Amino acid sequence: MNPFLSEYNTPFDVPPFGEIENSHFLPAIKFGINAQKSEIEAIVSNNAPATFNNTIEALDASGKVLRQVTNVFSNLQSAHTNDELQKIAKDAAPLISKHQDDIMLNEALFDRIAGVYKKKDDLQLSIEQQTLLDKTYKRFARNGAALNHADKVKLRKVNEELSLLWLEFDENILAETNSYQLIIENESDLAGLPVSVINGASDAATEAGYQNKWMFTLNKPSLIPFLQYAENRELRKAIFEAYTNRGNNDNARDNKKIVARMASLRVERAMLLGYPTHADYVLEVNMAKQPENVYSFLDEILEPARVMAKKEAVELQKMIDDEGGSFNLQPWDWWYYAEKLKIQKYDLDEEQLRPYFELENVLNGMLEVANNLYGLGFKELNDVPEYHEEVRTFEVLESDGTHIGILYMDFYPRASKGGGAWMTSYRKQYKEDGKNVAPVISMVMNFSKPTGGKPALLSFDEVSTMFHEFGHALHGLLSDCNYISLSGTSVPRDFVELPSQIMENWAGEPEVMKNYAKHYETGAPIPDELIEKIKNASKFNQGFVTLEYLSACYLDMDWHTLNTTTEQNTLDFENASMANIQMIPEIVVRYRSPYFSHIFAGGYSSGYYSYLWAEILDADAFEAFKENGIFNRETAKAFREQILEKGGTEDPMVLYKNFRGREPQKDAMLKRKGLM
């Protein structure tokens, strides 16, 4: 019995993970494709004139089975994959690509959509209905519905090839990340590393079958502390270069040709659709609208960031010289000497903080923030199917006990999981036959694991990441939309980071820290002096952080403002991009092209700038909370109703102004970064 082909018989209708086998996916995908084909055919063959209800709403509601199975499949691909799933993905990708093209390029369907669109001013639609109609029409027009037959054939080929390249790129990065192991046999090579990091490396080595050794990997909880604390410069260089050369080793997992081919195909697709570049195509529906606006935005911040980064490099070089070093600062030195300088300047060592950031305490404090803001309750469940034994599940409730949705949390790295952190949906919120369909949301992270008999102790960066992904989760959970294609995080890419990034602000607020930052052994709250040190150090190293990030934004935009289908030499192109912004040699671009998953295996092509764009929004929006009190219920109610509940039902600038009373201003962000 294929569990995807019947109603789930599970608590809250979550996926029945214990019943799902790999062999179920491909048949269910094929069944779902055929089911949606029948639904589309019913829309097209309807003899009644096209209306909003029988065409636009019917289209939005179609594909339920396919959506159900692909949501589970794609999420397992990211969070708990295996060789068989990866093979199935390669078989499924062309089928799904063809099916999506069959819908988007269906002339009869587009004629009905266009017929409704032409009458839109006479239909007396609600704002949400107007938005659905407008986005549906533009989605079809932007995806080739008006092309001639020959160009539609070309477009199908491009889309199919891109879907396969996307998968291959992602698989290569996961394999490259998992294949690297830095095995240390001499204890002297651990000099400088904190005990907690050494214990973690010992546990990792033992787990991998190495006795009396220490193992470091390219997962961030292992990599970053090694770069920050290891005194052995050659080993720092080795692990840094292994990380920055993922996908660039001229082996079977090399991504350079994939990058060049994807960039070329994206140009070809953009031109087929009537756009000069891929960036023009993508940005048309974002807040930024045009590539020129993104470049102007980045240019405003580039110079002050570069000036600050150069000053920071001089300080770090002075520290090297003062210690008697006879070498110039290199990228694998930056984390190490920056950490030493921070301790010297602010008497703040990240390892001083970890004992106060036990994962369980941080989690409880974060959930209490949501309770204080929105009255939400979180009940941990132990009888709900989960896709991995480490996953934890919560029922999210209104203050009156009304069910809102289900939230999975998946905290630790493993070989079957991609790197980084993200929020995703197993089921988005929408309304069906007047009844609310509750969302099933997941937060996936890669945090420091429990080690050496101690619980999971996080860095402050990991704490911020948890709050960040929780902000995305709230966007999905608190959605109150009628249509699935508009609900939750279905918003422009440069708006979607507002709900996530604003949550990071509460992580660092003293009154919030006092609540969740408690010593894991004594239970004592974090001392005021440590909170003050965190605040004082908040602008430290911001030249590095901002320039490293900006360089990736420029690289993304440069790849996607290409106006030729000629395939580029990936490394030459990247070097030229960095030279163009006068990137300083002591810093490497945050994501080099061969492992820039955000833009080559994710949805951020021509959109990586969005994180910084959203920083303007989140810093400005948080000012409203600070003006009225960070737990002011009226301000929180306005943010929930105007931002979190609305999804993509209105223009994002309209939503923002409805909340803030005006357009966002840059001042708060620039001050926060020390760039003003």
The tokens describing 582, both together, are 């006068």
CB atoms within 10 A of CB 565: 14
Instruction: Give the residues across from 538 on adjacent strands.
Output: none
Rounded CA separation 134/647 (Å): 15
Residues 343 and 365: beta-carbon distance below 8 Å: no
Active site residues: 469
pTM value?
0.94
Instruction: Give the residues across from 422 on adjacent strands.
Output: 444
The dihedral formed by the CA atoms of 12, 17, 22 and 23, expressed in degrees to the nearest 10: -60
Amino acid in position 565: T
Rounded CA separation 35/30 (Å): 9
Contacts with 568 (C-beta within 8 Å, 6 or more apart), sequence order: 260, 263, 264, 562
pLDDT at 336: 98
The tokens describing 119, both together, are 């009458």
What letter does residue 54 receive in the DSSP assignment? Answer: I
Nearest in space to 36 (alpha carbons), one of 89, 104, 90: 104
pLDDT at 350: 85
Q: Which fold has domain 3-104+106-146?
A: Glutathione S-transferase Yfyf (Class Pi); Chain A, domain 2 (1.20.1050)
Nearest in space to 59 (alpha carbons), one of 115, 133, 126: 133
Residues 229 and 194: beta-carbon distance below 8 Å: yes
The separation between CA 654 and the C-alpha centre of its own chain, rounded to angstroms, equals: 24
pLDDT at 673: 85
Nearest in space to 184 (alpha carbons), one of 262, 107, 130, 238: 238
Phi, psi dihedrals of residue 105, rounded to the nearest 5°:
-105, 15
pLDDT at 566: 98
Instruction: Give the residues across from 396 on adjacent strands.
Output: 378, 405
Rounded CA separation 58/62 (Å): 6
Domain borders along the chain are 3-104+106-146, 180-244, 289-349+542-600
Region label for 491, one of left (φ > 0), alpha (ψ between -120 and 50) or beta (otherwise): beta
pLDDT at 548: 98
The separation between CA 92 and the C-alpha centre of its own chain, rounded to angstroms, equals: 24
pLDDT at 17: 98
Nearest in space to 674 (alpha carbons), one of 319, 352, 311, 345: 311
Nearest in space to 169 (alpha carbons), one of 656, 599, 627: 599
Nearest in space to 290 (alpha carbons), one of 274, 279, 302, 300: 279
Instruction: Give the residues across from 525 on adjacent strands.
Output: 518
Sign of the Cα pseudo-torsion (545, 244, 238, 200, in order): positive
The tokens describing 82, both together, are 């295996």
The length of the chain, given as a count of residues? 676
pLDDT at 396: 98
Q: What HEC string does 485-510 produce?
A: HHCCCCCCCCCCHHHHHHHHHHHCCH
Nearest in space to 432 (alpha carbons), one of 361, 483, 470, 466: 483
Low-confidence ranges of the chain (pLDDT < 70): none
Helices (H) then strands (E): counts for the chain: 27, 9
Burial class (CB within 10 angstroms; exposed 0-12, middle 13-18, buried 19+) of 30 = middle
